[in-house]
Amino acid sequence: MTPRRNTATSEVRIPEPALEAVDRIRETGETHIWWWPLGTRTDPADYAVLDDVERGRAQRFHAEADAAAFTATRANARRAVARLLGIDPAHVAFGRRVCPGCGDREHGPPAVSHPPVPLAVSLSRTAGAGTLALRAGTWVGVDVEALRPVEPATLADVVLTATESAHVLGLPPGPARDAAFHRAWTRKEAVVKAVGLGLLGMPLNTLDVHPDQDGPVRVTHRYREEETHWQVTDLTLGDRWAASVARPDTGPHGPVHLHAPA
């Protein structure tokens, strides 16, 4: 079923399955996460799903692997939203909300702009994987990072609070330390994306995300004189990536549904 357009008013009538899906997501407070592997070559089937603006962006990447990652992420995001709403991927479009910091639409948080349903989305990609988070309302943030050996001591002042640094650097060098660092990093990125300000808001090295605790954890973000509170949940995408999702700490907190690659 596809959206019906009233030719007199250009008002989009949202299909009943889509309205029912949105109502269910709002009532239960559930969050949906999709993830998929990313290759190094653009799949023509993915490219065909993109709109003209996205195709233009894909063509501006200098590296084929970067273009392929962007194309696959956008295409799979459209497919995921379409399946959830019971519509064709061609009838899904992404836009941006107003930036909560400056009021500009050019760099505000992403949203589903068509059909016009009240769903917040967040996209992230890293080496080998892309993700999409979706929930009812206006705020959600997801981040995924490829696990790799790092030297947290060189990044501690930039990324970690003093408490986090003591925990991470207190672990022996190796996989455990790397995992703790990436847990902190993805939790922070998920929160700043959910807030909608990115790094223009609270510096990462002042945002405590409690990497010593298993999630979900409650995280406080401060911007100017305002505090917001977020529930952050770690996601399991296999042993190659770290990932986290942040949603407002106000309920209802329904389940987090993790959709594996099709």
What's the domain count of the chain? 1
Identity at 170, one-letter amino acid code: G
Reported as a single tens digit per residue, the pLDDT across 182-217 is 999 999 999 999 998 876 778 899 999 999 999 799
The enclosing domain of 152 has a CATH number of: 3.90.470.20
Question: Which residues make Cβ contacts (< 8 Å) with residue 75, sequence separation at least 6?
Answer: 43, 45, 46, 47, 49, 50, 89
Judge contact between 159 and 150, C-beta under 8 A: no
* Residue 213 dihedral angles phi and psi, to the nearest 5°: -110, 140
Reported as a single tens digit per residue, the pLDDT across 214-230 is 979 999 999 888 899 99
Q: What is the largest CA-CA distance in the chain?
A: 67
- pTM for this predicted structure: 0.89
Which residue range is the domain that position 212 belongs to? 4-259
Question: Which residues make Cβ contacts (< 8 Å) with residue 147, sequence separation at least 6?
Answer: 178, 179, 182, 239, 240, 241, 242
The answer to whether residue 57 scores a pLDDT higher than 90 is: yes
Q: Which long-range contacts (CB under 8 A, 24 or more apart) does 108-112 make?
A: 108/196, 109/138, 109/139, 109/193, 109/196, 111/138, 112/81
Residue 152, CA atoms < 13 Å, CB-side half-sphere: 29
Distance (Å, whole) CA 30 – CA 41: 34
Reported as a single tens digit per residue, the pLDDT across 67-91 is 999 999 999 999 999 999 988 998 8
- Taking phi first (over 0 means left), then psi (-120 to 50 degrees means alpha), and beta for anything else, what does residue 27 get? alpha
Residue 146, CA atoms < 13 Å, CB-side half-sphere: 9
Read off the tokens for 7.
């030719």
Indicate the pLDDT class of residue 101, thresholds 50, 70 and 90.
Answer: low
Give the CA angle between residues 38, 40, 45 to the nearest 5°: 70
Identity at 106, one-letter amino acid code: E
Helices (H), 170-253: 175-195
SS3 211: coil
* Residue 248 dihedral angles phi and psi, to the nearest 5°: -55, 145
